[in-house]
Amino acid sequence: MQQRASTDHLKAFAEKCRRKKLRVTPQRTEIFKILLKLQTHPSAEGVYRVVKTRFPNISFDTVNRTLLTFAEIGLIDVVEGYGDPRRFDLNLEHHHHFYCMNCRKITDLFCEAFDQLAVPKDIKERFTVTNKRVVLRGFCDNCGSNRVGDNSKQS
């Protein structure tokens, strides 16, 4: 199933590039594949580290520019880095995020209750809201257990 989904994604990728007149180079395909594989909303640096193992001569700048181009043509989303460098999100469906303050992993959340959160009237009057995303922060499964009773009481 996973495999199939990836093939579909790659097909959609190639098609979108063609439509936007972006050449499908081996480097670009590899970068897209890495995004498919890393489901952690990687930063450009994170993608660069992986792509370098296959294309040792690729520069960080190329990777960064490629990611921004992907975002420009609507292949991926740029999400908040929460104080870190910007992060990239392959999932274009409406969803929410859980951000781990320790390992910085961003996990996708699908939650109907969050989808249905109403924007208060005074906010609607001040801003044109085009998108709503709930961001939860805390510690993920891996990091949380190390922290219980740790320094959470000190402040």
| Residues in CB range of 77: below 8 A, 6 or more apart | 71, 88, 89, 90, 91, 92
Question: Which residues between 91 and 120 bind Zn ion (CB under 5 A)?
Answer: 91, 100, 102-103, 108
Beta carbon of residue 21, minimum distance to Zn ion (angstroms, whole number): 27
Beta carbon of residue 58, minimum distance to Zn ion (angstroms, whole number): 25
What distance in Å separates the CA atoms of residue 81 and residue 61, rounded to the nearest whole number? 18
Beta carbon of residue 91, minimum distance to Zn ion (angstroms, whole number): 5
How many residues touch Zn ion (CB under 5 A)? 8
Q: Does 89 bind Zn ion (CB under 5 A)?
A: yes
Beta carbon of residue 122, minimum distance to Zn ion (angstroms, whole number): 28
> Looking at 20-28, 82-90, 114-122, 145-153, which segment touches Zn ion (CB under 5 A)?
82-90
What distance in Å separates the CA atoms of residue 43 and residue 86, rounded to the nearest whole number? 6
What distance in Å separates the CA atoms of residue 28 and residue 16, rounded to the nearest whole number? 13
The answer to whether 96 touches 111, Cβ cutoff 8 Å, is yes
The answer to whether 134 touches 96, Cβ cutoff 8 Å, is yes
Question: Which residues between 126 and 155 bind Zn ion (CB under 5 A)?
Answer: 140, 143
Q: Does 30 bind Zn ion (CB under 5 A)?
A: no
Binding site for Zn ion (CB under 5 A): 89, 91, 100, 102-103, 108, 140, 143
